[in-house]
């Protein structure tokens, strides 16, 4: 019996040496000390011993049980300690490692110029409205007093999607949508993308941007148009900039004007930026044509208004002295980063 106990002890101690994980340890513990474990079996077997030997053997068994229990406990503690150490090692922060920098993005120059345009008009009491890029022939042309044989409808200029739907060629469509929904007084701007079947070169792109403006109320005159647009030009280009109104033609305004500002590069003397003219055209405008008001259910005998369409791309290239409009659409980070500060 004594030998049997010795053998069991040696066996258990050896196994304990080699155990690496907790599950194995628990299994071994059950196998030895559990209800059906080897040590318990031995205890049970004591019944067959002569009565005088029992107390001695009993004492030995209990000693062994106590010892093994302690060993198991120790093994468990060592294991936990090792686990903890391993976890700490994993979680250690190496403060000498280089940091991960987040690159901060910036506004695209078109958007930052658009933001300043919006700020200027919002401070004058305008709302900003949105319009769809896929438009109907009605909103893009017909309601704007563009007759069906007008050259602007030529397939060379307009991307038609179907006979009825097209990619808007001008943000002016937003004027009609606004006047259908709102009654005067109206003061809105509507920025957005427009499309024309143009060849790409340094000053043309089939996709470009406009900011439409519309004011309708009782007693609005050409004076209001001039005052608002002059103020706008001064805020964008600086107070020393001269502003010029040239007679022009648009089907949806009468009279119509084009607005030029003195070239910021040469101050009006003529240079590469203004192609020698000394002036840069920034927008078209005019007094809203009575037909356009009528089509939207606004009585032109009572109300008048003015409208304008700003070329955002031109404004951006001249303000930032960008020589080629294509740079605005290529998304070359080396170019864009110059404006993100």
Helix (H) or strand (E) holding 234: helix 222-237
**3-state DSSP assignment of residue 314:** helix
308 touches ligand DAH by CB under 6 A: yes
Residue nearer to ligand DAH on the CB measure, 214 or 263: 214
Task: Give residue for tokens 């900039």.
Answer: 241
Q: CB 100 → ligand DAH: shortest distance, Å?
A: 47
CB atoms within 10 A of CB 86: 10
316 touches ligand DAH by CB under 6 A: no
Residue nearer to ligand DAH on the CB measure, 42 or 170: 170
Q: CB 334 → ligand DAH: shortest distance, Å?
A: 32
Q: How far is residue 145's CA from residue 133's CA, in Å, rounded to a whole number?
A: 20
284 touches ligand DAH by CB under 6 A: yes
Helix (H) or strand (E) holding 326: none
What residues contact 214, with CB distance under 8 A and at least 6 apart? 174, 175, 178, 179, 186, 187, 188, 189, 190, 288, 305, 306, 307
Q: Using CB under 6 A, which of 135, 137, 212, 260 touches ligand DAH? A: 212
313 touches ligand DAH by CB under 6 A: no
Q: CB 185 → ligand DAH: shortest distance, Å?
A: 17
Binding to ligand DAH (CB under 6 A) within 232-271 occurs at: 250, 253
DSSP state of 204: B
Q: How far is residue 139's CA from residue 150's CA, in Å, rounded to a whole number?
A: 15
307 touches ligand DAH by CB under 6 A: yes
Residue nearer to ligand DAH on the CB measure, 109 or 286: 286
309 touches ligand DAH by CB under 6 A: yes
Tally DSSP H helices, then E strands, for the chain.
Answer: 12, 9
Question: Which of the stretches 9-17, 273-281, 282-290, 316-324 binds ligand DAH when contact is defined by CB under 6 A?
Answer: 282-290
Binding to ligand DAH (CB under 6 A) within 161-180 occurs at: 170, 172
Query: What radius of gyration, in Å, describes the C-alpha atoms of the chain?
Result: 43
Count of residues touching ligand DAH (by CB under 6 A): 11
Binding site for ligand DAH (CB under 6 A): 170, 172, 212, 250, 253, 284-286, 307-309
């Amino acid at each position: 019996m004594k030998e049997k106990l010795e053998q069991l002890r040696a066996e258990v101690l050896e196994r304990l040496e080699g155990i690496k994980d907790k599950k194995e340890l628990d299994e071994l513990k059950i196998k030895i000390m559990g209800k059906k474990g080897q040590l318990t079996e031995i205890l049970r077997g004591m019944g067959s011993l002569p009565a005088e030997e029992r107390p001695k053997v009993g004492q030995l068994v209990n000693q062994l049980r106590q010892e093994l229990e302690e060993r198991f406990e120790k093994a468990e503690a060592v294991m936990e300690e090792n686990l903890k150490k391993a976890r700490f090692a994993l979680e250690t922060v190496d403060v000498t490692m280089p940091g991960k920098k987040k690159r901060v993005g910036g506004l695209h120059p078109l958007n930052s110029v658009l933001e300043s345009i919006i700020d200027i008009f919002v401070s004058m009491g305008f709302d900003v409205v949105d319009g769809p890029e896929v438009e109907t022939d009605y909103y893009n042309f017909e309601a704007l007093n563009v007759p069906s044989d007008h050259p602007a409808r030529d397939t060379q200029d307009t991307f038609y999607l179907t006979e009825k739907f097209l990619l808007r060629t001008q943000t002016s469509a937003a004027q009609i949508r606004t006047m259908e929904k709102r009654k005067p007084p109206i003061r809105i701007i509507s920025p957005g993308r427009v499309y024309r079947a143009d060849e790409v070169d340094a000053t043309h792109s089939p996709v470009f941007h406009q900011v439409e403006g519309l004011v309708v109320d009782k007693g609005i005159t050409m004076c209001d148009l001039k005052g608002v647009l002059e103020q706008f030009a001064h805020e964008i280009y600086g107070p020393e900039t001269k502003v010029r109104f040239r007679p022009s033609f648009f089907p949806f305004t009468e009279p119509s004007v084009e607005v030029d500002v003195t070239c910021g590069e040469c101050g009006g003397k003529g240079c590469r930026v203004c192609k020698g003219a000394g002036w840069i055209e920034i927008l078209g405008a005019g007094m809203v044509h009575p037909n356009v008001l009528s089509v939207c259910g606004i009585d032109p005998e009572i109300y008048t208004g003015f409208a304008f369409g700003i070329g955002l791309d031109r404004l951006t290239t001249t303000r930032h002295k960008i020589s080629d409009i294509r740079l605005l659409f290529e998304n070359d980070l080396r170019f864009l980063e110059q404006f993100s500060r």
